[in-house]
Structure 1
Amino acid sequence: MSTLLPTAKVKTDSRAIAVEVDMDSLHVTLADGRMVSAPLEWFPRLRDASPAQQAKWRFIGPGIGIHWEEIDEDISVRSLLVAEM
């Protein structure tokens, strides 16, 4: 007989609250504490942008995505979580 232990129900909040771009990756911190990273190879416009352009981003809505006006790039948080690119 197996005994199943109850699992805690964790509330997730997948709104972005912080963004960082380094030489190789895009890093997004979510409101629930998760950190999601993706290689810049997935986002050629962001990869090819200057560091100054990479740093000029804004949230889309309440953090459902990130927008870079100068390079016309939009990345949704959902696309980072699903990652079927």
Structure 2
Amino acid sequence: MRPVRAWCADSEVHVALADGRVIATPLWWYPFLSKLNDNQLNDIELMYEGIWWTAVDEGISVKSMFLGVKAPGAKAPEKVA
């Protein structure tokens, strides 16, 4: 589950893995990212089993993305009717 590339687009965090898979999770799962601009969102450091945003000194593991683990305080956006 080693990440080789990561980016944020279309309200999602995307991670390409060494085995060729690409996974994505919603940005709202990670409230600590909510105040970052596009440049900061895409200033991502790859770790052996996760990714890290230097602007907020926070990161997520690839495993948590697979398991659907949201960060504390994550709330789904309200749907517009």
After TM superposition, is the score higher than 0.5? yes
Distance, in Å, in 1 between the alignment partners of 2:69 and 2:30 is: 13
The structural deviation recorded for 1:84 is 3.4
Structure 1 contact 18–30 (Cα < 8 Å) conserved = yes
**Root mean square deviation, CA, Å:** 1.3
Aligned equivalents of 1:71, 1:20: Cα separation in 2: 16
Out of 68, 76, 81, the position equivalent to 2:61 is 76
TM-score of the pair, normalised by structure 1: 0.74
Segments of 5+ residues of structure 2 without an aligned counterpart are 71-81
Structure 1 unaligned residues grouped into runs of 5+: 1-13
- The answer to whether the 8 A contact 2:52-2:58 is kept is yes
CA drift at 1:18? 0.8
Structure 1 or 2, whichever has the larger Rg, is 1
Structure 2 residue corresponding to 1:25, chosen from 12, 23, 30: 12
Alpha carbons 2:12, 2:25 under 8 Å: kept: yes
